[in-house]
Amino acid sequence: MNANNADHAEDSRRVIATSLVDTFRAAYGADPSGVWSAPGRVNLIGEHTDYNHGLCLPVAIPRRTFVAARRRADRQIRIASIQVPGEERTVSLDTIAQGSAGGWAAYSAGVLWALEQAGHAIGGLDVVVDGRVPLGSGLSSSAALECATAAAAVDLFELRGLDDESGRRRLVAACIRAENEIAGAPTGGMDQSAALLSAPDTALLLDFDGDHPPHRVPFELTARGLEVLVMNTRAAHALGDGQYGNRRQECETAVRELGVPSLRAIAPVDLDTTLARLSSDVLRRRVRHVVTEIARVVDAVAALESGELDRLTGIFDASHASMRDDYEISCAELDLAVDTARATGALAARMTGGGFGGSAIAVIETARREEIRSAVERAFEAARFREPELFTITADGPAAREL
Ligand code: GLA
């Protein structure tokens, strides 16, 4: 990231945080004790691998969710959001359970519940949210809200969770519990790890086979004249609606049929003989995706670490095809975004995140940005799809206090 961009990013974070203080005051009649934020993410590669004890490689993005918060004397959590005006929610820490927090508020209230479950002394909070990670974009708006809330809670209840990596990893675990058990979305841990553990100009290599610290991979493309274009298709994407959970269950079925501890345990060289032991073609395709995708993460990290970025072309192509054909999580809009970007000269492109709508990413030459953007816009218009939201990103830092 060059200095100007960095300054600009800092400025706008401060501007957003300062204006959220005003919103909080107008909503609750008092100043918040602070403002915290957490980033959304794109995943460079390694999709649907986290809950299979595999590898993935997310990058935090400069679109962040901000929360202004203040402690209450009771055990109520009162939450309002700039993005859903007039929908203030109040939940008691004593009654919170799956479904009780109601929709988006569960992601915030669930974190306080999970921190209390982990043995921390937690009380009520007043919270106002400004979510700048587009909702339903597959860019982890949910995890950004959870992790911004966690950052606020650790400061306000003096839990010291943001000070070091082990504290942050404890927060990751609490945010995952909130999402799985209170919001009811059976996701893995990639998004929460990205939001709490990322660092500027790096991608985060996460290994979910056991409790490993993240490995940071340099990810600074500007010097090479390259950048990452995010293509939010605005096609519907929701992880609580069954399709995501269905894929996860299919993987669990395959694990049972194969008698392995996880799909991570299958070595790529044993893939064909392993697939032959599965009971259906669908399971064979699901397992093939997971095993080959984990291997592609290793290849992508090697390409980034050696600076041989041209190798990303084939790795991303194979990843997108695997998600489209074997894991069946792409859709017409994602395929069109990826195909158009590649046909217009993107170095590499693939869908990112949970799928079934949401966003794709492309590694592009900065010099070709406008050409590729307008080709994707024209292709969406011709296909009569919703207008996509296109923007470039740099690798951003983790959840932090803003004010
Ligand atoms: C969503 C989930 C993650 C991960 C991705 C797919 O973002 O929240 O845990 O499974 O989908 O890679």
Quote the tokens at residue 313: 């072309």
Q: What is the pLDDT of residues 138-156, one digit of tens each?
A: 999 999 999 999 999 999 9
226 and 209 housed in the same domain: no
353 and 214 housed in the same domain: no
Quote the tokens at residue 76: 């109520």
Q: Classify 159 in phi/psi space as left (phi over 0), alpha (psi -120 to 50) or beta.
A: alpha
- Give the Å distance between the CA of 267 and the centre of ligand 1: 22
pLDDT at residue 10, as a whole number: 54
209 and 352 housed in the same domain: no
pLDDT at residue 237, as a whole number: 73
pLDDT at residue 7, as a whole number: 47
CATH number where 334 lies: 3.30.70.890
Confidence of residue 190 (pLDDT cuts 50, 70, 90): very high
Of all residues in the chain, the percent with pLDDT exceeding 70 is 96
Q: Where are the beta strands (DSSP E) in 72-196?
A: 76-81, 89-92, 125-131
Q: What is the pLDDT of residues 244-256, one digit of tens each?
A: 999 999 999 999 9
Helix (H, G, I), strand (E, B), or coil: what is residue 209?
A: coil
Q: Where are the beta strands (DSSP E) in 304-373?
A: 348-352, 359-365
31 and 47 housed in the same domain: yes
Predicted confidence (pLDDT) at residue 351 exceeds the cutoff of 50: yes
Residue 191 known to be catalytic: yes
Spatial distance between the Cα atoms of 141 and 144, rounded to a whole number of angstroms: 5
Residue that has been written with the tokens 């054909």 in this structure = 325
Average pLDDT of every residue of the chain: 95
Assess if residue 398 is contained within a domain: no
Contact (CB, 8 A) for 331 and 235: yes
What range does the domain containing 379 cover? 222-393
Q: What is the pLDDT of residues 370-399, one digit of tens each?
A: 999 999 999 999 999 999 999 999 999 999
Query: Residues 100-104: what's their mean pLDDT?
Result: 77
28 and 98 housed in the same domain: yes
62 and 206 housed in the same domain: yes
Confidence of residue 176 (pLDDT cuts 50, 70, 90): very high
Residue that has been written with the tokens 């299979």 in this structure = 52
Confidence of residue 2 (pLDDT cuts 50, 70, 90): very low
Q: What is the pLDDT of residues 57-76, one digit of tens each?
A: 999 999 999 999 999 999 99
64 and 120 housed in the same domain: yes
Ligand 1 pocket check for 186: Cβ under 6 Å? no
pLDDT at residue 240, as a whole number: 57
Q: How many residues make up the chain in this entry?
A: 403
Assess if residue 350 is contained within a domain: yes
Active-site option among 50, 126, 130, 191: 191
> Which residue puts its alpha carbon closest to atom 8 of ligand 1?
187
268 and 378 housed in the same domain: yes
99 and 203 housed in the same domain: yes
- Give the Å distance between the CA of 85 and the centre of ligand 1: 28
How many domains is the chain built from? 2
Spatial distance between the Cα atoms of 90 and 80, rounded to a whole number of angstroms: 9
Ligand 1 pocket check for 80: Cβ under 6 Å? no
Domain C-terminal end among 218, 234, 252: 218
Q: What is the pLDDT of residues 262-283, one digit of tens each?
A: 999 999 999 999 999 999 999 9
pLDDT at residue 4, as a whole number: 40
CATH number where 164 lies: 3.30.230.10
Assess if residue 110 is contained within a domain: yes
Q: What is the pLDDT of residues 5-59, one digit of tens each?
A: 444 555 699 999 999 999 999 999 999 999 999 999 999 999 999 999 999 999 9
pLDDT at residue 11, as a whole number: 64
209 and 257 housed in the same domain: no
Predicted confidence (pLDDT) at residue 157 exceeds the cutoff of 50: yes
Domain C-terminal end among 151, 184, 218: 218
pLDDT at residue 8, as a whole number: 54
88 and 202 housed in the same domain: yes
- Give the Å distance between the CA of 346 and the centre of ligand 1: 24
Ligand 1 pocket check for 188: Cβ under 6 Å? yes
Ligand 1 pocket check for 187: Cβ under 6 Å? yes
Helix (H, G, I), strand (E, B), or coil: what is residue 128?
A: strand
pLDDT at residue 6, as a whole number: 45
Contact (CB, 8 A) for 225 and 364: no
Ligand 1 test: best mutation among 47, 50, 55, most atoms within 8 Å of CB?
Answer: 50
Residue that has been written with the tokens 């049972």 in this structure = 256
> Which residue puts its alpha carbon closest to atom 10 of ligand 1?
48
Q: What is the pLDDT of residues 192-242, one digit of tens each?
A: 999 999 999 999 999 999 999 999 999 999 999 999 999 999 998 776 578
Q: What is the pLDDT of residues 317-328, one digit of tens each?
A: 999 999 999 999
pTM: 0.96
Domain C-terminal end among 218, 243, 274: 218
Q: Classify 180 in phi/psi space as left (phi over 0), alpha (psi -120 to 50) or beta.
A: alpha
Sign of CA dihedral 290, 294, 299, 301: positive
Assess if residue 399 is contained within a domain: no
pLDDT at residue 5, as a whole number: 45
Confidence of residue 118 (pLDDT cuts 50, 70, 90): very high
57 and 121 housed in the same domain: yes
pLDDT at residue 99, as a whole number: 76
Of all residues in the chain, the percent with pLDDT exceeding 90 is 92
